[in-house]
Chain A
Amino acid sequence: MAEKNNKVLKKNSNPWLEAWRRLLKSKIGVAGMAIIVLLLLVAIFAPMLAPYDPYEQNILSRYKSPSAQHILGTDEMGRDILSRIIYGSRISLQVGLFAVLMALVIGVGLGLIAGYYGGKLDMIIMRFMDIMLAFPSILLAIGIVAILGPQLKNAMLAIGIINIPRFARIIRSSIISIKESEYISAAKALGAGDARIIFKHLLPNAMAPLIVQTTLSIATAILEAAALSFLGLGAQPPSPEWGAMLSDARSSLQKAPWVATFPGLAIIFGVLGFNLLGDGLRDALDPKMKNV
């Protein structure tokens, strides 16, 4: 309601622009954006930033502690950890983005169908989502990867799948809440087709929660990918995926704690960026949205 009033009052101002301004004013949002931009820059300019080839191993100098030569030390294969973390940013960002993109497309599609058409279709789709939500998600992901084989792309797929229900639910509830509203009825009366109503009217209205959920989901997707890789089900060696870098660190915890420490910090940093941005966006897009 508030937004409608705003529209009437300031005809020229675009609500998205408004939100963007609010975002720029929020410390949290700006910090999140800064981290993400930094990560993107690191990912793009990795070859220039990394002091060593992240794959070059030297099994005679394994587990070297941090020094001027190797700022973050070397790992179990004698590789430079800093260079691997730098290159790893590429993988983690990709995994987060693609997995969530997949969940977004499928989840939104299912949610739209369920919410818009209702009836049996709605019941079947949402029951299926309930079933998926009843699974412990990490076990579901492990099962899916076990079927497809442990590879990064399969882990990405599994993470995408377990995130579908959340998107479907958001879209569905937002659509149901406005489906019966006057202006949708008006659009229907004017002869607008289903597609037009969905893409012109319903989807834009669900945009705010969707953007927030997407940002926060990228954060969890990065964590989930790291967990799967840690269990040996994601990125395969010699890939410098952050979670995979941790997977063998346990056996060297006594001898070389830095092998476990730094990739973990990298994960926190990256995930924090998306969480901060998500928070900032939530405040900016709709100050009244619930913080769950």
Chain B
Amino acid sequence: MINYIIKRLLALIPILIGVAVIVFLIVHLIPGDPAQTMLGERATDAALARLREQMGLNDPLYIQFWRYIKDLLRGDMGRSIMSNNPVITELQARFPATLELSFFAIIFAVGVGVPAGIFASINQNSWFDNLSMVIALMGVSMPIFWLGLMFIWLFAVQLGWFPPSSRLGVGIDFTPITNLYVVDSIIQLNFTALVDILHHLVLPAIALGTIPMAIIARMTRSSMLEVLRKDYIRTAFAKGLQRKVVIFKHALKNALVPIITVVGLQFGVLLGGAVMTETIFSWPGLGKYLVDAIYARDFPVVQGGILFFATVFVLVNLIVDLSYALVDPRIQYE
């Protein structure tokens, strides 16, 4: 098992190097540069030339690339051109927001998707089965930004139940530590803030979680159906075991592997896919920030940020793979 993990980790290295190279090429192939964005309308030729010189943008591409790789190997991702903060600081400030949002989205997706899938599978072809599967199909077919817009319109504008944007209301006394606001407010026992933070999380988490919820519900249903058809389950029923026991102890356990796969993959997708949700809900997370950084040609931020995202993504996939063994002892890693 340990050997397998090490092998898998080593295999990640060339992938991440590839990501680093491609990111570098992409950001430098885009016309325009940070000097341009900084000066805006004031970008006269002379002013631009001066600024570029100061930023080292006039060096040939391979020198810039060499500098970037050398710094990267030393663990230095550079400083943001726009904010002058170290890139690592920017990531630390923003990634927790994305992580928190994705986490609650997946909680919602699993919390609704798995029970709905199970219930649909044991009542196959009932009205609930049909209805929930139609809803699930609609869910996968929905543009997430549109759902976000509708949520804001209905729940924030019309009904006023939830705030339309951001992570925390004004006037709430709260000091972030880890930038995972929920965690921070709990360890500080600041429950006023906690309530407000959760209140802000509801709409974006549900909007972001809807597509995974639909996928998970469908996956749970079909995987349960398959297991329920198996002989040993039929035997269990035939032996007169209690229905609940059969379903939850025997069937669900065996249906779990594909469900976990999907949940894990969806979590990875969510982290990257938070871009649209963060845009709609003005959520100060990493996805939206990276989009802005691409537009601003903030080279160090884009390079560092995407590399970071890719690392998280491949690690999540690895963990998903490994977790099979926990659920299903028959799977062995060599």
Direct A–B contact present (CB less than 8 angstroms): yes
Contact B150 A138 (CB under 8 A): no
A57 CB–B CB distance under 8 Å: no
Contact B26 A147 (CB under 8 A): yes
Tell me the chain A residues, 242-275 only, with Cβ under 8 Å from chain B: 243, 246, 249-250, 253-254, 257, 260-261, 264, 267-268, 271-272, 275
Q: Residue on B with the closest CB to A146?
A: B30
Return A274 CB to nearest CB of chain B, in Å. Answer: 8
Contact A268/B306 with A139-B290, A253-B152, A291-B222 known, Cβ cut-off 8 Å: no
Contact A272 B309 (CB under 8 A): no
Return A95 CB to nearest CB of chain B, in Å. Answer: 14
Contact B157 A253 (CB under 8 A): yes
Contact A136 B287 (CB under 8 A): yes
Q: In the assembled complex, which residues on chain B have CB atoms less than 8 Å from the CB atom of A272? A: 137-138, 141
The answer for the CA separation of A39 and B98 in the assembled complex, in Å, is 37
With beta carbons under 8 angstroms apart, the residue of A128, A131, A136, A260 that contacts B150 is: A260
A87 CB–B CB distance under 8 Å: no
Contact A246/B149 with A138-B276, A226-B143 known, Cβ cut-off 8 Å: yes
Q: Residue on A with the closest CB to B272?
A: A136
Contact A139 B275 (CB under 8 A): yes
Contact A268/B141 with A143-B27, A231-B279, A260-B150 known, Cβ cut-off 8 Å: yes
Contact A254 B295 (CB under 8 A): no
B145 CB–A CB distance under 8 Å: yes
B142 CB–A CB distance under 8 Å: yes
Contact B275 A138 (CB under 8 A): yes
Contact A254 B145 (CB under 8 A): no
Contact A268/B150 with A253-B157, A290-B258, A292-B258 known, Cβ cut-off 8 Å: no
Q: In the assembled complex, which residues on chain A have CB atoms less than 8 Å from the CB atom of B291? A: 139, 142, 231
Contact B153 A260 (CB under 8 A): yes
A210 CB–B CB distance under 8 Å: no
The bracket for how many chain B residues form the interface is: 35 or more
Contact A260 B279 (CB under 8 A): no
Return A257 CB to nearest CB of chain B, in Å. Answer: 5
Which of B12-20, B68-76, B176-184, B245-253 lines the interface with chain A?
B12-20
The bracket for how many chain A residues form the interface is: 35 or more
With beta carbons under 8 angstroms apart, the residue of A127, A134, A246, A276 that contacts B313 is: A134
Contact A128 B26 (CB under 8 A): no
Q: In the assembled complex, which residues on chain B have CB atoms less than 8 Å from the CB atom of A243? A: 143
Tell me the chain A residues, 103-147 only, with Cβ under 8 Å from chain B: 127-128, 130-131, 134-140, 142-144, 146-147
With beta carbons under 8 angstroms apart, the residue of B19, B150, B222, B295 that contacts A135 is: B19
A167 CB–B CB distance under 8 Å: no
Contact B149 A147 (CB under 8 A): no
Q: In the assembled complex, which residues on chain A have CB atoms less than 8 Å from the CB atom of B22? A: 131, 135
Q: In the assembled complex, which residues on chain B have CB atoms less than 8 Å from the CB atom of A246? A: 143, 145-146, 149
Indicate the member of A130, A136, A249 with the most B CB atoms within 10 Å.
Answer: A136
Return B280 CB to nearest CB of chain A, in Å. Answer: 8
Q: In the assembled complex, which residues on chain A have CB atoms less than 8 Å from the CB atom of B273? A: 136, 138
Contact B149 A135 (CB under 8 A): no
Contact B15 A134 (CB under 8 A): yes
Return B203 CB to nearest CB of chain A, in Å. Answer: 14
Indicate the member of B143, B287, B314 with the most A CB atoms within 10 Å.
Answer: B143
B29 CB–A CB distance under 8 Å: yes
Q: Is the interface of A mostly helix, strand, loop or mixed?
A: helix
The answer for the CA separation of A268 and B211 in the assembled complex, in Å, is 12
Contact B137 A227 (CB under 8 A): no
Contact B272 A276 (CB under 8 A): no
Contact B275 A253 (CB under 8 A): no
Q: In the assembled complex, which residues on chain A have CB atoms less than 8 Å from the CB atom of B140? A: 219, 271, 275
The answer for the CA separation of A143 and B144 in the assembled complex, in Å, is 20
A63 CB–B CB distance under 8 Å: no
Tell me the chain B residues, 102-161 only, with Cβ under 8 Å from chain A: 137-138, 140-147, 149-150, 152-153, 157
Q: Residue on A with the closest CB to B140?
A: A275
Contact B306 A136 (CB under 8 A): yes
Contact B141 A136 (CB under 8 A): no
Contact B149 A249 (CB under 8 A): yes
A212 CB–B CB distance under 8 Å: no
The answer for the CA separation of A257 and B273 in the assembled complex, in Å, is 25
The answer for the CA separation of A175 and B29 in the assembled complex, in Å, is 36
B48 CB–A CB distance under 8 Å: no
Return A156 CB to nearest CB of chain B, in Å. Answer: 17
Q: List 20 A-B contacts (CB under 8 A).
A: A128-B18, A134-B16, A134-B310, A134-B314, A135-B22, A135-B309, A135-B310, A136-B273, A143-B23, A143-B30, A144-B26, A227-B144, A230-B143, A231-B291, A253-B152, A257-B153, A267-B143, A272-B141, A275-B140, A291-B223
B contacts, CB < 8 Å to A: 14-16, 18-19, 22-23, 26-27, 29-31, 137-138, 140-147, 149-150, 152-153, 157, 218-219, 222-223, 258, 261-262, 271-273, 275-276, 279-280, 287, 290-291, 294-295, 306, 309-310, 313-314
Known interface pairs A143-B26, A268-B146, A275-B137; 19 further A-B residue pairs with C-beta atoms within 8 A, sorted by A's residue number? A134-B313, A135-B22, A135-B272, A136-B275, A138-B276, A139-B272, A139-B294, A140-B26, A143-B30, A147-B30, A246-B145, A260-B146, A264-B146, A272-B141, A291-B218, A291-B219, A291-B223, A292-B219, A292-B261
